[in-house]
Amino acid sequence: MSDTQSHSAILADRLEGWNRPTAIVPQNEGELLEVAMGPHHPSTHGVFRMDVALDGERVIRLRPVFGYLHRNHEKIAEGISYLASMPYTDRLDYICPITNNWAYALAVEKLTGQAVPERAEYLRVILGELTRYQNHASSIGFLIQEMGASGTPLMYAYREREKILDLFEELTGARMMVNYMRFGGCRVDASQGWLERTRKVVAGLAGFADEFDRLLSTNEILMARTQGVGVLRPELAVNAGVTGPMLRASSVNYDIRKVDGYGIYSRFNFRVPLGDHGDVYDRYMIRVLEMRESIKILEQALKEIQPGPVMDPKAKIRGLRPKAGEAYGRIEAPKGELGFYLISDGGPNPYRYRVRPPSLINLTVLEDMCLGVNVADVVLIFGSVDIVLGEVDR
Amino acid sequence: MLGEGILKGMAETAKNFFGSYFSAERLTTVEYPEQRVAPFEAARVFPFLVFDQENRDGGGPEWEAGMRCVACQICEKECPPKCIYIEKSKDKKLDYLGKAQYYPARFDIDISVCMSCQICVEVCPFEAIKMDTEYELSTDDRFGSLLLDREQLAKSNEYYHQIHPTEASAVDTRLAAEKVKADARAKAAAQAATAKAVAIAGEGA
């Protein structure tokens, strides 16, 4: 690097393109302040560190450091039976365990060619969409909390989330660590009373989305802080493999519920909201709109669900030994594409067990969104990615 | 108008704040140690071992004599975090079907490792292990008192009926049906044996 290169030239070089060299502390850049935000920074959603290099207020480079919550999930799963991995998947993304269960069950069902009864599919959709609703509500709450609105929107979101978690507990026995799905259906059937209570809760969800809208969507401070901040270009989003609300906020129409049509999603009528700018505000807005779409799906599913078995009686649960082969099951989890890749060698435990976590892969573009912004916005951009460290580190 | 959105949000907050004085819908918390929310019927915390009250095999305390567990060790094998430790007995005793079965000489669950997944309950073919709803279990002893032994784990069938009434009734019906079937089978076998004996006697004569 030549001595004559100016500060702004270095910065422009750094801001351009995806395949830039790994950020090195450049010389001739004046005073550079390196700050380790985390692992116990109040804004981070767990134990996560961002090493940022600051030129005044501006971010020159950012390095995400994770692994503090590594629990060896994949290797443990390769040593235990297929069934025994199911409760461990609850603990990946602990905000939405139902969808984790679903993705894993789907992968094993693909591996063994197991069919799922109709009522179980409906129950999966109902629980999955409830999970999406509460995940988006609480992730918006966290985002606003990181802007400095200490608690109010988050507590409103949690009030709503608690109603949904009560439904989960009544059905599965646990608020979060549900361990509900099985290969070939669901563990227990939902009673008529449970469905009635779910209908009642779902009827109230739209009112809460309206309340959230009135509370936040036109708030001038929120718009000033989030519009035009942390822009993610669609090309970069696609190249980096970003999925979920983050990708759709960058106006890429890709929703696995539509593309893959897993389960019975093709039967429901819903739209995929898309953003225009790919900034933090769009990501916020996409989540609010997806909450409304989830309500639509829930209403249709609760209307159409029929009595019947929830478990294939021939399905083998304990001592499952799938034929040698491989399968990849993926679903549209609230945070993006959650996939489980399994290789079986015919034994009682998988030969290879791999999780494709949306949080980790959405996090890889963090530096690109943060370069050149003020350090106060880094916290906001990080919040808008919506990650859970249990899933990032596994 | 600049600030309109903020004012609208403030109005929403005010509605929630004052609403909490009037409607139960807005007041969502309980004062925990004084008030408690009753657990759901399906709620699960840690496993316990069921024993039947009627003392079948004589000798020993009630919980030991009536324990349904036959030490088949399926739960030990299937437990995802491997927190169950079982030792099979040397001798056998009669179970509820009147069949001679082993019993656990040692049955420990390390509840500091247990993750409340209830897979042990799901795989148990003898309805012997069930999930408790007791959640206030904190102790100041890190190791000893978190490793529960047979006696601490044993809870009566009545207790099971108290915490999971629907499930327990279904289990009782199933076990009763099994007993009826086993009794019928035993009776049929006995009859066949007598018939055979009679036939042999007849042949002999």
Q: What is the pLDDT along chain A (394 residues), one digit of tens a residue?
A: 444 455 555 555 554 543 444 444 454 556 677 788 877 776 667 788 888 887 777 787 888 888 888 888 889 888 888 888 889 998 888 888 999 999 999 999 988 888 888 889 999 999 999 999 999 988 888 888 888 777 788 888 888 888 899 899 988 888 888 888 888 888 888 888 899 999 988 988 888 888 888 888 888 888 888 888 888 888 888 888 899 899 999 888 888 888 887 888 888 888 899 888 888 889 989 998 999 999 999 999 988 888 888 888 887 878 888 888 899 989 988 998 999 999 998 888 899 999 999 988 988 888 888 887 888 888 888 888 888 888 888 8
Res A340: pLDDT: 92
At residue A78, the 3 state secondary structure works out as helix
**Domain assignment of residue B77, yes or no:** yes
- Say if B117 is an interface residue toward chain A (CB within 8 Å): yes
The answer on A109 and A33 residing in a single domain is: no
Check residue A22 and give its pLDDT: 43
Our count of domains for chain B comes to 1
Domain that holds residue A38: 7-65
**A201 and chain B: CB distance < 8 Å anywhere?**
no
Q: Does residue B119 lie within any of the structural domains?
A: yes
B44 touching A, CB under 8 A? Answer: yes
What pLDDT, on a 0 to 100 scale, did the predictor assign at position B95? 73
Q: How far apart are CA A309 and CA A246, in angstroms?
A: 37
Residues A376, A233: one domain? yes
pLDDT for the residue B19: 81
CB contact under 8 A, B9 and A172: no
Q: Is the CB of residue A135 less than 8 Å from the CB of residue A391?
A: no
Phi, psi of A72 (to 5 degrees): 65, 35
Which of B1, B8, B74, B113 has the most A C-beta neighbours within 10 Å, making it the best mutation to test the interface with A?
B8
The confidence score (pLDDT) of residue A17 equals 44
Together in a domain, A37 and A156: no
Asked whether residue A198 is assigned to any structural domain, the reply reads yes
Domain shared by A125 and A77, yes or no: yes
Same domain, A320 and A340: yes
Cβ–Cβ of B119/A83 closer than 8 Å?
Answer: yes
| pLDDT tens digits, B114-148 | 888 888 988 888 888 888 888 888 888 887 788 88
Which domain, by its residues, includes B97?
Answer: 47-163
CATH number of the domain residue B132 falls in: 3.30.70.3270
Q: Report the distance separating Cα A194 and Cα A128, nearest Å.
A: 16
The whole-number pLDDT of residue A25 equals 47
Calpha distance A332→A132 (Å, rounded): 10
**Top-confidence residue, B1 or A156:** A156
Q: Does A72 touch chain B (CB under 8 A)?
A: no
Is A14 found in the same domain as A97?
no
The verdict on residue A2 lying in a domain is no
Q: How far, in Å, are A20, A242, A244, A295, B127 from residue A235 at the CA level?
A: 16, 10, 15, 31, 57
> Domain count of chain A?
2
The CATH number assigned to the domain holding A381 equals 1.10.645.10
User: Both A86 and A19 in a single domain?
Assistant: no
Strand, coil or helix: what is A333?
Answer: strand
Q: Which residues pair with A63 in a beta bridge?
A: A51
Residues A248, A271, single domain; the answer is yes
Same structural domain for residues A18 and A126?
no
Residue type, A44: T
Nearest CA in chain A to B25: A159
**Which pLDDT score is estimated for A20?**
46
Residues B199 and B182: their CA atoms lie apart, in Å, by 25
Contact state of A84 with B80 under an 8 Å Cβ cutoff:
yes
Separation between Cα atoms, residue B85 and residue B71, nearest integer Å: 10
Nearest to A221 among B6, B28, B40 (CB): B6
Q: Which of A178, A220, A227 to mutate to test the interface with B (most CBs of B within 10 A)?
A: A220
pLDDT tens readout for residues B46-95: 898 888 876 555 566 777 777 888 888 888 888 888 889 988 888 877 77
What is the model's pLDDT at position A131?
92
CA–CA distances in Å: residue B59 to residues A33, A132, B86, B154, B188: 77, 56, 22, 17, 31
pLDDT at A23: 47
| A182/A265 same-domain check | yes
